[in-house]
């Protein structure tokens, strides 16, 4: 019995001991969790980097800007022959200055001259044909006018003789009736022979008058028909002459075009300067076979010069309101004016070509390089504030307790950079070199930092 009681007591003690150990472990875990939370807070406070801040407007300064610029010629042309022929003469050498239209070289073009003479002869022949055909046309037109002028007179004469015909016919019938009546009376011996003879004479006279009237009518009709035929014939001749004239004029245009083509070919036998300038290279040799595919000379226009520079978008924007632009070369300053901004971004440099006129008198050669200089109108961030992060250039800004990297796409290493940020933007000053984008910061005053 005692043994059983002892075993029960032992079990109770074990249970109590287990509960005590369990409570102790829970308390320990709570302390550990509290310690971890405290450590995390402490770590956060340690991770926040102390920094000083500066307003952007307090550090930016206007700067004198300058970029590389080059004198370029508006024309630097390879002059090539326009036909294939042997070179018979070369008139210039490298370094010679020429005027527009000067002959640089001559080609052997005897065959072209023959073609030109043939074309000229064809033009003269065709012009003579045109003159003869024109004369024939004028003559035929005169014939038409003459024949047409005869028509009214012939028509009038026909009308007149036709008007006489009825009267003559009536007179003839009357005379015939009178003759027949007198013949019958004479048979009956009622009238003398003289009266019959008078009636016969009157009939013959009336018949002659009627026949004459008929002949006049026929003659007038023939004359009218002849004039009408003459008009028709002359009109047909005129149409033929005009057709010949039109054909001849068409042929003249053709042979004149051939002559013009031959003249152009002969003119191309001389290689001429298209503009005034200087010969910078000669590729043509005496006796050589010149071809259009091969350049003969390199001609540089030395009078029409401009300045070319590759500028960033910030440079172009900064230069927009500047009047005093200078090109500085070997200690000499030349006033210039912006002429054009080329609307194309150049490769990886992200720049654009800008062209300038050189307004001062100068003797600068093409290809001469110097510096394009102007006093910047916009404030710029000094190069010491520009940092490189992950291959990009920019500045570190303070935003919501963190360092934020703000890239400047137009920035160049070691040069001030223009920006469109607000002057009140806060930039990280102290410790900006070690900070990374997104790190926590703790802004402090400059005095605190010194302490």
pLDDT digits (tens, 9 = 90+) for 31-61: 434 444 444 444 444 478 999 999 998 998 8
Are 345 and 436 in a shared domain?
no
What is the rounded distance in angstroms from the CA atom of residue 418 to the CA atom of residue 227? 101
Q: Return the closest-CA partner of residue 338 out of 374, 300, 380.
A: 374
Same domain, 312 and 365: yes
pLDDT higher than 50, residue 296:
yes
End residue of a domain, out of 318, 342, 375: 375
Contact call for residues 82 and 292 (beta carbons, < 8 A):
yes
Q: Are residues 248 and 209 in the same domain?
A: yes
Residue 100 has a pLDDT of: 95
pLDDT at 237: 83
Share of the chain above pLDDT 70, in %: 88
Q: Domain count for the chain, please give it.
A: 4
Residues 314 and 337 in one domain: yes
Q: What is the pLDDT of residues 393-429, one digit of tens each?
A: 999 999 999 999 999 987 888 888 888 888 899 999 9
Positive or negative: CA dihedral 145, 150, 153, 155: negative
214 shares a domain with 120: yes
Same domain, 101 and 182: no
Q: Is residue 438 part of a domain?
A: yes
pLDDT of residue 87: 95
What is the CATH number for 289? 2.40.50.100
Query: pLDDT tier at 9 (50, 70, 90 boundaries)?
Result: low
Q: How many angstroms separate the CA atoms of 193 and 377, rounded?
A: 147
User: Which of the given ranges, 43-47, 249-253, 262-266, 368-372, has the highest pLDDT on average?
Assistant: 368-372
CATH number at residue 244: 1.10.287.620
**Pair (119, 251) in one structural domain:** yes
Q: Is residue 5 part of a domain?
A: no
User: Residue 44 domain-assigned?
Assistant: no
Alpha carbon of residue 216 to chain centroid: 80
pLDDT at 26: 46
Question: Mean pLDDT for the chain?
Answer: 84
Whether the pLDDT of residue 13 is over 70: the answer is no
How would you list the strands of the sheet with 103-107, edge to edge? Answer: 270-272, 103-107, 85-90, 289-290
- Cβ atoms of residues 334 and 327 within 8 Å: yes
Residue 42 pLDDT: 44
Mean pLDDT of 111-125: 93
106 has pLDDT over 90: yes
> Residue 103: inside a domain, yes or no?
yes
Name beta bridge partners: 389: 392
Looking at the structure, tell me whether residues 152 and 280 fall in a common domain.
no
Same domain, 118 and 211: yes
* Secondary structure string (H, E, C) spanning 222-284: HHHHHHHHHHHHHHHHHHHHHHHHHHHHHHHHHHHHHHHHHHHHHHCCEEECCCCEEEEEECC
Can you tell me the distance from the alpha carbon of 128 to that of 119, in angstroms, rounded to the nearest whole number? 14
Do 228 and 116 belong to one domain? yes
What are the tens digits of pLDDT across the range 152-191?
877 887 787 777 778 878 887 888 888 888 888 878 778 8
Is residue 12 assigned to a domain? no
* Residue 141, token pair as written in the block: 């037109």
Tokens 């004016």, located at residue: 337
Q: Are residues 308 and 330 in the same domain?
A: yes
**33 located within any domain:** no
Whether 293 and 344 map to the same domain: the answer is no
- Would you say residue 41 lies in a domain? no
Supply the range of the domain harboring residue 406. Answer: 50-61+382-443
The reply to whether 9 falls in a domain is no
Question: Is residue 30 over pLDDT 80?
Answer: no
Cβ contacts of residue 245 below 8 Å, gap of 6+? 130, 133, 134, 137
The owner of tokens 């307090």 is 58
Average pLDDT over residues 102-114: 93
CATH number at residue 70: 2.40.30.170
CA–CA dist 280, 292 (Å, integer): 19
Question: Does the predicted model carry a pTM greater than 0.85?
Answer: no
In this prediction, residue 447 carries a pLDDT of 52
Q: For residue 328, what are its two tokens?
A: 């500085």
215-245 pLDDT, tens digit per residue, is: 878 887 887 787 788 778 888 888 888 898 8
pLDDT digit string, tens, across residues 183-216: 888 787 788 888 878 888 888 888 888 888 788 7
């Amino acid at each position: 019995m005692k043994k059983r009681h002892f075993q029960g007591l032992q079990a109770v003690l074990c249970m109590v001991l287990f509960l005590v150990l369990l409570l102790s472990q829970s308390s320990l875990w709570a302390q550990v969790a509290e310690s971890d939370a405290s450590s995390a807070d402490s770590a956060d406070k340690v991770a926040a980097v102390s920094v000083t801040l500066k307003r952007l407007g307090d550090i930016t300064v206007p700067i004198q800007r300058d970029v590389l610029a080059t004198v370029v010629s508006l024309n630097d042309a390879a002059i090539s022959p326009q036909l294939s022929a042997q070179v018979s003469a070369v008139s210039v050498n490298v370094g010679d200055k020429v005027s527009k239209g000067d002959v640089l070289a001559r080609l052997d073009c005897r065959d072209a001259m023959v073609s030109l003479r043939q074309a000229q002869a064809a033009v003269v022949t065709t012009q003579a044909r045109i003159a003869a055909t024109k004369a024939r046309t004028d003559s035929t037109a005169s014939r038409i006018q003459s024949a047409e002028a005869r028509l009214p007179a012939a028509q009038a004469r026909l009308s007149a003789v036709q008007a006489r015909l009825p009267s003559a016919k009536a007179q003839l019938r009357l005379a015939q009736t009178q003759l027949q009546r007198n013949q019958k009376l004479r048979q009956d011996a009622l009238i003398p022979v003289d009266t019959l003879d008078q009636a016969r004479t009157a009939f013959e006279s009336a018949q002659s008058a009627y026949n004459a009237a008929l002949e006049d009518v026929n003659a007038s009709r023939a004359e009218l028909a002849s004039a009408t035929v003459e008009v028709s014939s002359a009109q047909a001749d005129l149409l033929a002459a005009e057709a010949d004239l039109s054909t001849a004029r068409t042929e003249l245009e053709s042979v004149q075009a051939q002559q013009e083509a031959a003249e152009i070919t002969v003119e191309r036998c001389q290689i001429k300067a298209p503009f005034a300038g200087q010969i910078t290279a000669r590729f043509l040799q005496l006796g050589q076979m010149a071809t259009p595919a091969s350049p003969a000379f390199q001609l540089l226009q030395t009078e029409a010069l401009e300045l070319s520079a590759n500028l960033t978008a910030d440079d172009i924007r900064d230069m927009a309101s500047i009047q005093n632009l200078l090109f500085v070369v070997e200690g000499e300053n030349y006033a210039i004016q912006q002429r054009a901004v080329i609307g194309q971004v150049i490769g990886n440099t992200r720049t654009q070509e800008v062209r300038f006129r050189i307004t001062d008198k100068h003797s600068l050669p093409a290809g001469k390089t110097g510096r394009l200089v102007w006093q910047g109108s916009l404030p710029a961030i000094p190069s010491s504030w520009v940092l490189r992060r992950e291959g990009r250039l920019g500045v570190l800004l303070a935003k919501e307790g963190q360092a934020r990297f703000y890239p400047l796409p137009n920035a160049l290493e070691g040069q001030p950079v223009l920006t469109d940020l607000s002057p009140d933007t806060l930039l990280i000053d102290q410790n900006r070199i070690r900070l990374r984008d997104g790190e926590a910061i703790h802004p402090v005053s400059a005095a605190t930092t010194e302490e």
